[in-house]
Copies of this chain bind each other. A is one copy, B any other.
Amino acid sequence: MLSKKTRYAFRALTHLAENYGKGPVLICNISEQKNIPLKFLENILNELKKADMLESKKGKGGGYYLKVSPKKISLATVIRVINGPIALLPCVSLNFYEKCADCDEKHCGMRKMMTIARDATLKILEKKTLQDILVAGT
């Protein structure tokens, strides 16, 4: 399950996607319109910025905006930044890999199944983008 924080992130990002190319959007505007606690949103947006998805400007006329087109931000990327691994086991994760304590990876049936599941999930999450969320929501 995605955390509430991740859902907030997606809501904020779709808002920014709607305003792509129209200049910075204030945190407090996103907070109000999307009903996300202001201070919590602050640090979500900051994390997304550090992950190179967003750009920000301080002072009057400032705010946040997408660094690249909504078409280029995949759901998988967002999930990884805010939620963490997509795979069901650490030993199957591409971005958050951790070795299993007590299984031989070459001969672990569980691992093989979870790899197949991961690939199926990723095929969708890597392909679908913020743009797809917008389009599907009309």
Please list the residues of chain A having a beta carbon within 8 angstroms of any beta carbon in chain B.
Answer: 1-2, 7, 10-11, 14, 35, 75, 79, 84-85, 87-90, 102, 107-110, 112-113, 116-117, 120-121, 123-125, 128, 132-138
**Copies per complex of this chain:** 2
Q: Collect the chain B residues with CB atoms within 8 Å of residue A79's CB.
A: 88
Verify B113–A133 contact, CB threshold 8 A: yes
What are 29 A-B interface contacts by the 8 Å CB criterion?
A1-B87, A1-B90, A2-B88, A7-B89, A10-B110, A14-B110, A35-B102, A75-B117, A79-B88, A107-B138, A108-B137, A109-B132, A109-B134, A109-B136, A109-B138, A112-B133, A112-B136, A112-B137, A113-B132, A113-B133, A113-B136, A116-B124, A116-B128, A117-B125, A117-B128, A120-B120, A120-B121, A120-B123, A121-B121
Question: Is B128 within 8 A of A113, CB to CB?
Answer: yes
